[in-house]
Structure 1
Amino acid sequence: MNVIRNYVFRLYPTSPQRDRLTAMLHDHCELYNAALEHRREAYRRAGASIRAVEQMAELTDMRAARPDQAVWSFTSQQQTIRRLDKAFKAFFRRIKAGEKPGYPRFRSAHRFDSVDFRHGDGIKFDATKSSPGHATLRVQGVGVIKVRMHRNLPDGAKLGQVTVKREGAGPRARWYVALPVEVDTAPLPETGRTVGVDLGVAHLLTASEPIPDLTDHDGHAPNPRHARTATEKLATAQRALSRCQRGSNRRRKARDRVAALHGKVRRQRVDGARKAALALVRHADVIVLENLQTANMTKRPKPVPNGDGTFAPNGAAAKSGLNKSILDAGWGVLVNAILVKAEEAGREVVFVNPANTSRRCARCGHTAAGNRVAQAKFECLACGHVDHADRNAALNILRAGTAHRDAA
């Protein structure tokens, strides 16, 4: 089975190279915004739609008039135009689907963090002339950058699109190169197991049965709470940022510190999600998950007016704490990691309706809100079955997924 696997390696540019990479992002951001302005004005003044091909044809004249833009790869600038074109296509698709349109917006240089290339045209990745675990990346206008390889590319890998991206800002920023490669993966041996997984806050997940290297004997996987662990450092950095004058160098450095802390939390969350997903796909052939709508679950509660200009308590403070815990758990990151690992391993992922999974008895099927005695305790009012609430939910999810597959 052939899948596209993204190999991401960290770059170690020198200080001058880091400045050139930053300048490259800035110039591509300027190009993106200029192309967007071109489209906006053409439609506003004449009702004309500008195509990506027409804007690419103007790049030659632009590069002749702007020597600073001509330093960079012509193909990478074409890719930036295509990037804007994809944004417009997504905009029109959302309009046809009746969704919130989300018109393409101008990009800030601080938030334009990646540039796409075509390998061999303005960029070249080379791992043959370096020592094991190291490679080089030659970027037009920047030079030869050192690359650390934590894993090898597959033999005979053909490189197409190459993305250079930045994480963070300033001297604390990390630079990476992303190489999508088509690889031939062999499915893992079948285990004959189907597992139901309940995502939670007290525990990151609870499985319907213990999973080696992931859960305890009760099926619980601990929630690392990376954001909560970094709360004190983040709060200190945010306070320092709020005291700085806008536009000052101190504010820029303080902003970089905040970005670096958030970047560390994100990397920890992604790493944990990938390890958990790998343990799941190694253990079971079929993984059953709830089809959770995290965006809806983390909405703020609506105010409750009393009619006299005041508002009744609506539990906003408690809901805010729950929302932070849900987002810190990173359910979406974990589900995406499971989908990616399952595709590579030839496993099946089934999504079921989450309604009443925590209120239904896994033994007799009785459903009632009173069955949930406490956050962690389930006690059926009909048959007296007692279990951990999350484990009971995982068994219900497993049963619903099995029924769904049998019906299909």
Structure 2
Amino acid sequence: MGYAALAAKYRPVFARIAEGSLQRELDRVLPFEQIGWLKQSGFTGVRVPREFGGDGASLPELFRLLVELAAADPHVPQALRGHLAFVEDRLCAPASSEREEWLRRFASGELVGNAVTEIGSVALGDTTTRLTAAGDDFTITGRKYYSTGSIFAEWIDASALAPDGTEVAALVSTATDAVTVSDDWTGFGQRLTGSGTTVFDAAPVRAEHVHPFAERFSYQTSLYQLVLVAVQAGIARAAESDAVHQVATRARSFSHGNAAQTRHDPQVLEIVGRISADAFAAEAVVLRAAEELQLAYEARTPEERAASRREAEIASARAQAIVAELSLRAATSLFDALGASATSTGLALDRHWRNARTVGSHNPVAFKARIIGDHLVNDAEPPYEWAIGVPPAPDAQKSAR
């Protein structure tokens, strides 16, 4: 379709989403209606080939759209993160009637959430959520947290252990009383992503909706992470937009400033320019990393897939390492341009910093530069699957050795 046509199709929807984003932030209103607009517009099938009703967008085109959407409301693309990954999984699956059915579902507006992480005293790398045989099918029982986007979705992509102990991904319909999704995320940023608790109480799962986790598409961790990086780039763009608007419309100026009007003060204009440069660089980094993901998608031989998977993971880590800094700097510099009045709760300009800081805390950026360096210096493989939990006791670690 090309990016110009994609942008023309979706920018009017993004503009509608942007109109109420500040008030939703102030009132803590989840974007059910706004995600509904995206479903109706076909955005849930933006990557789906055109023969199945989608837009056939490339990954660089998708991520360019995500940056624009995040600038309108950063909660929304993060809420779609699990869906985008599941679409990618079906795109990479062998041709079948089931694959075609799912691609058409996505193009018609069906949305998939996710439920992977477990909190509390769960052992590192363990999964307490279980599938139980129920005739030819299964039921799923367990409790998940950080189930971003699931509260908006028709389906939930959940990790679990099969009866034989295999780690699997199970697709669970939300159209049952056996699935409860709560908006109980308590973070100080990204509060409207629906990243709360999901409880499965013997919820039904069809056998054909269970797949070995090891068979998921190879570059999934890099895609999951790059969606968050795109959100940060969008936040930087939103900070730029607010800086421009607030400076251009500011009536008051300081006696010790450099101009009678703030909009003509060269120091203030320099700050706005640097915010813009940070936002520009952040988006450019995202799009460069998305090119590596596209190569991973196009890889066909086992050797090509292994090499492109590695490059996509490193590219995603590089992007996270630098865009986290750029987005936080843009969100902070905004206040240097405006002074104390910018701290008004009614403006909620602090949301840009809070949201950027929250997104940057996922899959901690602190580890990324080390992983990149280890790969470059020692040819070490980057980690392709992350887990969090309670590590074994020291005695148990010694026994394991």
In the superposition, the TM-score normalised over structure 1's length comes to: 0.25
Q: Quick check: which one's strand share is greater?
A: 1
- Which structure has more relative contact order (CA 8 Å, sep 6+)? It is 2
In the superposition, the TM-score normalised over structure 2's length comes to: 0.25
Q: Quick check: which one's helix share is greater?
A: 2
